Amino acid sequence: MRWSTIHAVPQTVQHVYLSPHFDDAALSVGGVIAAQVAAGEQVLIVTVCSAAPSGELTPFAAHLHERWGAATEPMTARQAEDERAAAILGADVLWLDKQDAIYRHPGYNSVAAIFAEVLADDPLISELRSLLAKLEEHLPQARWYAPLAIGNHVDHQVTFHVAHDLAARAIDLVWYEDLPYATKPQAVEQRLAQIPDQLVPINAEIGPVLERKLDAVAAYASQMLELFTSEERMRAQLAAYAHQLAGPDQAAVERLWRGETV
């Protein structure tokens, strides 16, 4: 089910996943989501950057559209992909209708810029803080999940920093590793070294639902070439990482992180 407003979301939701873009939750924690749904728990995926571009595209955004082979309104296709993926996982979705970095600020005008520091006047910072405060008030008993911002994409950084505000207020929050960025050697360790919090890992078994996760990620067909070059390579790379993290008595896992004092 896709909910159109925060107050339409059922207050029985137990798990809230913050996804900077449409595919991030499925890529990073699709297995945990599928396992929770299979256990009868109610999951909401909140996608931050889900709005279509408005006005004239910057040269960089136009270049990316051309490289992607994007239609005039690429978000329409991506929204349909997101609903298919959520249906596979069994999760509800809420789109916050904020724009990707390349659409909302002219300063994000290169690959280097979108993987650099968040611009001080980026409007997403205050807008997301306000929206998540409302959602927190609406779902006071839910557990939250947010990206560690491994890979340093500015949309992930903004989501991390606003979620960190929630954690500072003793909200029940768990961090997840941003995939596929986390599969790069030392990427997780480098990111953890940048975070002042002391975090401890939690290995979540996803063996029984691994194929469901991969099917959900495959629903984002428009992203396969950019992220993995093919669906086959996506399935192999994500499965290999899940098996690599698994302990002696585990088949496949997704690794989550929690603050030691939470």
45 and 94 in contact (C-beta within 8 Å)? yes
pLDDT value for 56: 87
pLDDT value for 169: 87
Taking Cα atoms as reference points, which of 67, 75, 138, 144 lies closest to residue 103?
A: 75
Q: Is the pLDDT of residue 236 over 90?
A: yes
- Give percent of the chain with pLDDT exceeding 70: 97
Kindly report each contact of residues 62-68 with a partner whose C-beta sits within 8 Å and lies 24 or more positions away, as own/partner: 64/102, 68/222, 68/225, 68/226
Q: Is the pLDDT of residue 135 over 90?
A: yes
Query: Residue 23, Cα to own-chain centre: how many angstroms?
Result: 6
142 and 15 in contact (C-beta within 8 Å)? yes
First to last CA, the chain: 31
Q: Compute the 3-state secondary structure of the chain and give helix, strand, coil in percent, each to the nearest 5.
A: 50, 15, 35
Average model confidence (pLDDT) for the chain? 95
Question: pLDDT band for position 16 (50/70/90)?
Answer: very high
Q: What is the pLDDT of residues 165-180, one digit of tens each?
A: 999 888 999 999 999 9
Q: What is the pLDDT of residues 18-38, one digit of tens each?
A: 999 999 999 999 999 999 999
Q: Is the pLDDT of residue 262 over 60?
A: no
Taking Cα atoms as reference points, which of 85, 13, 3, 4 lies closest to residue 43?
A: 13
pLDDT value for 70: 56
Q: Does domain 2-259 have CATH number 3.40.50.720?
A: no
Q: Helices 74-89 and 24-38 sit at what angle, rounded to 10 degrees?
A: 30
pLDDT value for 168: 87
197 and 149 in contact (C-beta within 8 Å)? no
Q: Which two tokens stand for residue 203?
A: 């290995």
Q: What is the pLDDT of residues 45-77, one digit of tens each?
A: 999 999 999 888 899 988 888 776 655 577 888
Say what the pTM is. Answer: 0.96
